[in-house]
Amino acid sequence: MADTYELDLEPGADDFAEDEMMLDDDTTAKVKSHATKRKGRGFNDHESSLSKEKFDTVDADTVGNAQRSVEGWVIIVTGIHKEATEDVVEEKFADFGEIQNITLNVDRRTGYIKGYALVEFKNYDEAKEAIDECDNTNLLGQTIHCDFAFVKGNTSSSKSHESRQSRRGRDRSKSPRRR
């Protein structure tokens, strides 16, 4: 049954132009239809609130593929040792700029660190340097991975719905083919 979706496996970038909202839902629908093993009571009575209304976004402010947050640039760090502390994380990243915020969540079952942190920098350059310098490095004997947490995505915001065509055109001519 899943074989019938074969032709959708490699959507080219230009396919996105038609209708992005449709594409959105299609991608999700496609992923769902690919699954062959289903389990649970929830398959018949689901009406999600997430498909219809307009959602707020932070205004598009991007550099490369990274999306700025309201107060700065947030990076995600994964692979953090379960006994790490906020001080350890802060020390690792303090050299790159002023850290505005660190979120280090615990595993609800074990009480240890879950393994990821969100670190917020004021400026893009600081965040970028932190990522470049710390990705695939060692922290407390484990290899950590660093990346921007938020990215541009296919659509940038529901607010800019009207200007989508023109903005899209501009994006295309301006952006280099590869980074």
Partner 1 sequence: MSDEFYVRYYVGHMGRFGHEFLEFEFRPDGKLRYANNSNYKNDSMIRKEVYVSKTVMNELKRIVEESEIMKEDDKLWPLADKVGRQELEIVYGDEHISFTTSKLGSLIDVQESEDPEGMRAFYYLIQDLKCFVFSLISSHFKIKPI
Binding site for partner 1 (CB under 8 A): 2, 24, 27-28, 31-32, 34-43, 45-46, 48-50, 53-58, 65, 67, 69-71, 74, 76, 78, 101, 103, 105, 107-109, 114-116, 118, 120, 145-154, 158
Min separation Cβ 48 and partner 1, Å: 7
Structure tokens at 66: 């990274």
**Shorter beta-carbon distance to partner 1: residue 2 or 17:** 2
Separation between Cα atoms, residue 93 and residue 102, nearest integer Å: 10
Query: Tokens in use for 73?
Result: 């640039």
Query: Quick check: 120 and 76 in contact, CB under 8 A?
Result: no
Q: How far is the CB of 38 from partner 1 (least distance, A)?
A: 5
Closer to partner 1 by Cβ: residue 110 or 173:
110
Could you tell me the CA-to-CA distances from 63 to 10, 111, 123, 127, 151 in Å, in that order?
A: 26, 37, 11, 11, 9
Measured from the CB atom, is 11 or 169 closer to partner 1?
Answer: 11
- CB 88: neighbour CB atoms within 10 A? 16
Rank residues 65 and 165 by Cβ distance to partner 1 and give the closer one. Answer: 65
**Gap between the Cα atoms of 9 and 174, Å rounded:** 27
Residue 151 C-beta: closest distance to partner 1, Å: 5
User: Smallest distance, Å, CB 99 to partner 1?
Assistant: 12
